[in-house]
Amino acid sequence: MSGDLDVISMAMFKTHDPRIDILERRLAALVEERQTLRAGGAESIELERNRCEIVARQHELSDALISVYAPDTAFAPA
């Protein structure tokens, strides 16, 4: 199992996509905004807007990570 981790770590180190950094920063900012909204007693509509933005950025981040790190053959038709 540790051998698998080494391969993954090496792949992540060698392959850098700036989209991932940007999306991670956007996601962190949205989470911080959510904490501020909740602490300030924000209306449910504001919290829902923020939640939807978080979900959208998480989806984009997942897509970006898959496009960079998943082998193409993993998604090829059988």
Q: Report residue 75's pLDDT band, with 50, 70 and 90 as the boundaries.
A: low
Instruction: Give me the pLDDT at residue 54, please.
Output: 98
Half-sphere exposure of 4 (CA within 13 A, CB side): 1
Using CA atoms, how far apart are residues 42 and 44, in angstroms rounded to an integer? 6
The enclosing H or E element of 7 equals helix 2-14
Cβ partners under 8 Å of residue 34, min gap 6:
47, 50, 51, 54
Instruction: Look at residue 73 and tell me whether its pLDDT is greater than 70.
Output: no
Q: Are 31 and 44 in contact (CB under 8 A)?
A: no
